[in-house]
Amino acid sequence: MFGNLKNLAILGVIGFVAYSFLSGTKSEQTADLGQVLDRTEFALNTYQGYLTDNGVTEASDAELTEFTAFYTDVLNADTRFYDTTLGLSVMEDATFLGFADENANRIQDEGEGKVFTVEIDEANNRLIATDLAGNSSGLRFSGTGFLAGALLGNLIGRQRAAGISAASFNNRTVSPRSSYRAPSSARSGGPRSGK
């Protein structure tokens, strides 16, 4: 009887390992949401400055694509905070999806797992970054200048078209960027490291 139980337990473990391997689910490294927010803020401010300097008052989808490439470069700039090259795509609802871009081709291929998302919370004037474990951190902006730019106008327009209202994020509880601490599985580095 105990021999049969032992054999069943061994088969169960082998089956679980085989399922995990064959199902293609991959657990990615935890992202440092503080670095994600800092670099997102830098990318948004820098690109909006570029648009303003060039007299762009309404950002087109082509400019959003250009921004996404720039934002990806900022996420991967030295000092790196993630072990694998990060890829980035903008979803229909204006959520930025960060993924582990193993082959650095800027396309999320099969097996390249999600790492984080960044959402724009218009009503509360903040960015919200969320990792795979569901941890969220937010970066709040004072005044209305942050939401006044051409790029953010395009993104908020995408949110509205996807049915996301300005108040959709009101009940989201997040750690403020000022009190966020990266998990031990996340590396740190970049603009605000050491603060």
Return the pLDDT at 79.
92
Q: Is 137 exposed, middle or buried (0-12, 13-18, 19+ CB in 10 A)?
A: buried
pLDDT tens-digit readout, 74-103: 999 999 999 999 999 999 999 999 999 999
Q: For the chain, what is the mean pLDDT?
A: 83
The band of 149, judged by pLDDT with boundaries at 50, 70 and 90, is confident
| Structure tokens given for 152 | 């953010």
Return the pLDDT at 11.
45
Return the pLDDT at 131.
94
CB 149 within 8 A of CB 49: no
Distance CA 193, CA 34 (A): 9
Distance CA 186, CA 129 (A): 14
Top pLDDT among 33 and 178 is at: 33
pLDDT (average), residues 174-184: 86
| Structure tokens given for 170 | 């009101």
Q: How far is CA 76 from CA 7, 25, 134, 140, in A?
A: 48, 24, 22, 23
Q: What is the pTM of this model?
A: 0.79
Distance CA 195, CA 191 (A): 9
Return the pLDDT at 17.
38
Q: What's phi and psi for 18, nearest 5 deg?
A: -65, -40
Distance CA 158, CA 154 (A): 6
Top pLDDT among 46 and 28 is at: 46
Question: Taking the alpha carbons of 77, 81, 84, 88 in that order, is the dihedral positive or negative?
Answer: negative
Pairing of the two strands 136-140 and 114-121: unpaired
Domain ranges of the chain: 27-179
Residue 9 has pLDDT above 60, yes or no: no
